[in-house]
Structure 1
């Protein structure tokens, strides 16, 4: 019950803050999490400052809920987060709009069990301590996996740790398993094995993805800034898609991502290959921003309600998604 109460408290705090959104920062502040994707290369190389034409205050967060809290307070105008925290925030009517689906998460997030933990099959998780950032895509995937395995989450000691805290707790032997992303994933894999990953959980009916969102008031007043951000982001994705084989460990793009995120450069090519990055043309299709993304947010919200993580599910989530910032 500790897991459930902490998650509810976090969501309640975000929801309360969302009711008081009215401040606008003078400087453009953008928050991001450490998922490995081509957009991080563009951030590291200063392409957004050139594309948008103004100074940007970049802020790194451990997980999506922290991004949401900063956006709710007015400190951050554009943010990067996963589908699970977005569904939770939208279900509380936080005024946000998702304008890019930056990644469909596959093997770039995984459940790793520590060597010596005694976990060799799903049933062995009962009574063990499993760490995950609460209300994140990894949390959603963990709950989806437990549901698929017919395991009661209350019989697993699920603890709320950020990726950085997971790495530290793992090295101390405080946790038996963790569902997370890199750089933590790359580190804990060295002394553990993967029990499942987000790709497999997606096939079981609980897909996850990452988005970029803007505060609605900011997007309405600054549509060109949001559109320019989308343009630079999708150009970075297109560059990766066209030159994927060239993004090797020793390549400049991979070095840039490693510099920004702190991930090991040796892990980055495989992690990039562990997600799918929709193109500009795909963004405006019914699979993504023109319908599919809103439907997936709704399905995620339904699952979160079933798990007791949100209180209600909205009849329609299309108001929280828009393709109008994607150029032709």
Structure 2
């Protein structure tokens, strides 16, 4: 299984170049993923550009570790990733700061098994092939589920595939199941059965969440851009919370999300409901950016170390989280 860390030579180069790297607000590059959430609506409408006054290059990534590599190299200044790749990156001291919890993952990530695979209960997973993107929140949830069920990766063949590869492997019949997010999740559900999801695994002691992070040097040089970015995001969350019933498959909001993520518009309302999107008060609370998020990162890192996915953990993850950008 590949290491969740960046290659040592790349990481060293990033550190050596740190003093010379100057993030320019006029050249803002943002890394995003295909997860379904309300912030995709202002992204599609150009609202982030209007609020920040910047020309933004939006780059799509398949999974969090790819976003981390782009952030570490300086190619991307702001990125969206899950708690598992965040824990792996900060444990390696990649210079990031999480400034908003973008989603508390519930049913929007799930373990789906193929109809006809012979899997109807956890013990049926023995000897089966289950795919997930390694070092992602789905991978973390899968490991947490296996541990809860008394299974290990010696019992179940876990393979590393990104969401696009999972959808293709599913169609070919190469895998028996997958723990993944949308749009792949929506596709495999059509001919599969959900065995568990991130919400249930969270109740078993392995919660997952997503964050927006920025390079520390960029955030220090352009705090107003980070604050404006957070403001647009939270406005989208508030609009969704107030008008959730109106975000139907035929609504402009859902159509925009479907187009941007590649999801089926009919699946988007259910996928949106599969996560919680904290408002500004919740973001600044002790449960999240006020302290809880740092503790959750530490717990995630500890679990990954226990699973031999990390070599070491930090004594304190609070330097990698900040509530200062939430207005």
Q: TM-score range by the shorter chain?
A: over 0.9
Which whole-Å CA distance do the structure 2 matches of 1:17 and 1:174 have between them? Answer: 39
Deviations 1:270-308 (A, max 9, x none): 111110000011111001000000000000000000000
Aligned to 1:251: 251
1:64-97, CA deviations, whole angstroms, 9 ceiling, x for partnerless residues? 0000001111100000000000001011111100
Q: What is the rounded CA distance, in whole Å, between the counterparts of 1:14 and 1:126 in structure 2?
A: 38
Q: Deviations over 1:193-234 (max 9, x none)?
A: 000000000000000000000000000011111111011111
Match of 2:222 in 1: 222
Distance 1:191 1:50, change over 3 A: same
What residue in structure 2 maps to residue 155 of structure 1?
Answer: 155
Task: Name 1:19's counterpart in structure 2.
Answer: 15
- Structure 1 CA distance, aligned partners of 2:9 and 2:202? 29
Query: What stretches of structure 2 of length at least 5 have no aligned partner?
Result: none
Mapped contact 2:231–2:326 kept (Cα < 8 A): yes
Match of 2:270 in 1: 270
Q: Does the 8 A contact of 1:17 with 1:72 survive in 2?
A: no
- The 3-state SS of whatever aligns with 2:103 is strand
Secondary structure, in 3 states, of the residue corresponding to 1:326?
coil
User: Runs of 5+ in structure 1 lacking a partner?
Assistant: none
Equivalent-residue separation in structure 1 for 2:56 and 2:97 (angstroms)? 20
Q: Deviations over 1:32-57 (max 9, x none)?
A: 11111001111111110111111100
Q: CA deviation at 1:124?
A: 1.3
2:3 paired with 1:7: yes
**3-state DSSP class of the match of 1:118?**
coil
Instruction: Give 1:126 deviation, angstroms.
Output: 1.3
- What value does the CA root-mean-square deviation take over the aligned residues? 1.4
The secondary structure found in structure 2 opposite 1:7 is: coil
| Counterpart for residue 300 of structure 1 | 300
Which range moves more in the overlay, 147-156 or 291-300?
A: 147-156
Task: Work out whether 1:101 is the aligned partner of 2:101.
Answer: yes
Q: CA deviation at 1:141?
A: 0.1
**Alignment partners' CA distance in 2, 1:84 and 1:228:** 26
Between the aligned partners of 1:145 and 1:15, the Cα distance in structure 2 is 32
Secondary structure of the corresponding residue to residue 326 of structure 2: coil
Q: Secondary structure at the match of 2:3?
A: helix
Q: Secondary structure at the match of 1:38?
A: coil
Deviates more, 1:257-266 or 1:151-160: 151-160
> CA 1:196 to 1:60, structure 2 compared with 1: closer, same or farther past 3 Å?
same
> Residues 306, 70 of structure 1: CA spacing in aligned structure 2 closer, same or farther, 3 A cutoff?
same
CA distance in 1, matches of 2:98, 2:224: 15
Partner of 2:121: 121
| Equivalent residue, structure 2, for 1:191 | 191
Q: How many residues align?
A: 323
Question: What residue in structure 2 maps to residue 202 of structure 1?
Answer: 202
Say if 1:81 and 1:73 are closer, same or farther in 2 by CA, change over 3 A.
Answer: same
Following the alignment from structure 1 to structure 2, what is the Cα–Cα distance between the partners of residues 169 and 100?
A: 34
Measured against aligned partners, the alpha-carbon deviations of 1:86-139 in whole angstroms (never above 9, x if no partner) come to: 001011111100000010000000000011211111111111111000000000
Q: Quick one: distance in 2 between partners of 1:238 and 1:150?
A: 40
Trace 1:166-185 onto structure 2 (pairs within 5 A).
166-185=166-185
What is the DSSP-based 3-state SS (H/G/I as helix, E as strand, rest coil) of the residue aligned with 1:185? helix
Aligned to 1:238: 238
Query: Is 1:138 aligned to 2:134, yes or no?
Result: no
Give the secondary-structure state (helix, strand or coil) at the position aligned to 1:31: strand
Does 147-156 or 258-267 show the bigger shift? 147-156
Question: In the TM superposition, what whole-angstrom CA distance separates every residue of 1:113-169 from its partner, at most 9, and x where no partner exists?
Answer: 011211111111111111000000000000000000010222211111000000000
